[in-house]
Structure 1
Amino acid sequence: MSNLANIIVHLLFLLVIVSPTAVHAKELKKGMPFLAARTLLLHKGWRPINVHEGDNFSYIGIDKILVKANIKEVESCAMDKAVCIFNYKKCDKCLRLFTQGEKIKGMRVYEWTYDCPDGH
């Protein structure tokens, strides 16, 4: 095998090994401000998923404020507790971000999973 072909094979092998972990949002930290986490995710190539697009969902409370602020990846916010769920996608991977806080600037990340919302 030529030297160039050998290098290409090794690069492809590394790409296959590294790619699945590259889409994960390793820089996310529990307790970080939501807006900082959102900016980080968008810069890392995560796309917001609007799970309510086209279904005439009625936003109320903080989720209505989020949508008006063009943060349309909000799935829902609890009425009795200041918890919201946001959805993102990168390649074929999903990320669900959970925040706590009653105002956008005060929202903090407390958890995330790599689950996809239904139908996405």
Structure 2
Amino acid sequence: MKQTTRSARALRHSLLALTLAQPVLATGLTLGMDFGVARRSVIKQGWRPTPMHAGDGYVYSAQERAILHRGMRELDSCAMDRPYCVFYYQRHGECLALTTNGEQPSSLVLASWRNECPDEAPLPGARQASETARRASARG
């Protein structure tokens, strides 16, 4: 009986350690869900959009510009040969990548999600710098 209790306790501790070692993913996401709904869900869970390409000279495609026009600064890029785009979020030192399928901003659906950081995470204050640059370019 004591051996069974010890084995069960060891198993629980192993599972707990394994669970704690796993990256934290957003919850409530489903394949094919509307990206706007998915985006609001992860933001509500505390994931913050990671502003991408602030001041790095990246040249956006027409599709990417249409997405940015809707305020989705977390867009990393969209594939040129298929209708996939990648968006990044951060929370408590973890990263989340959402991949979408669709050609128009209004028709984007969730294709996958994973704990993945962009190649180069923006420096603190990048959002503010990005917004300042956007406002300056809008003024002409």
**Bin of the TM-score, shorter chain as denominator length:** 0.7 to 0.9
Q: Name 2:41's counterpart in structure 1.
A: 40
The question of whether the paired residues in 2 share the 8 Å contact of 1:61 and 1:79 is answered with no
**Cα distance between partner residues in 1 of 2:119 and 2:83:** 23
Give the 4+ runs in structure 1 shifted more than 3 A: 16-23
TM-score, normalised by the number of residues in structure 2: 0.68
The SS at the match of 1:37 is helix
The question of whether the paired residues in 1 share the 8 Å contact of 2:24 and 2:115 is answered with no
List runs of 5+ in structure 2 lacking aligned partners. Answer: 1-15, 122-140
Please report how far the alpha carbon of residue 23 of structure 1 lies from its aligned counterpart in structure 2 after TM superposition: 4.3
Deviations 1:59-87 (A, max 9, x none): 11211111111111010011221110000
The question of whether the paired residues in 1 share the 8 Å contact of 2:50 and 2:74 is answered with yes
The SS at the match of 1:111 is strand
Pairing 1:1-120 to 2, within 5 Å after superposition: 23-120=24-121
The question of whether the paired residues in 2 share the 8 Å contact of 1:75 and 1:85 is answered with yes
1:55 alignment partner AA: D
**Cα distance between partner residues in 2 of 1:64 and 1:106:** 15
**Which structure has the greater CA radius of gyration?**
2
Q: Name 1:12's counterpart in structure 2.
A: none
RMSD of aligned Cα (Å): 2.1
TM-score, normalised by the number of residues in structure 1: 0.78
Q: Specify which structure has the higher proportion of helix.
A: 2
List runs of 5+ in structure 1 lacking aligned partners. Answer: 1-15
The question of whether the paired residues in 2 share the 8 Å contact of 1:50 and 1:73 is answered with yes
Deviations 1:17-63 (A, max 9, x none): 88877942121111101000001011111011122112121111211
The SS at the match of 2:112 is strand
1:38 alignment partner AA: R
1:111 alignment partner AA: S
**Cα distance between partner residues in 2 of 1:102 and 1:118:** 24
The question of whether the paired residues in 2 share the 8 Å contact of 1:49 and 1:87 is answered with yes
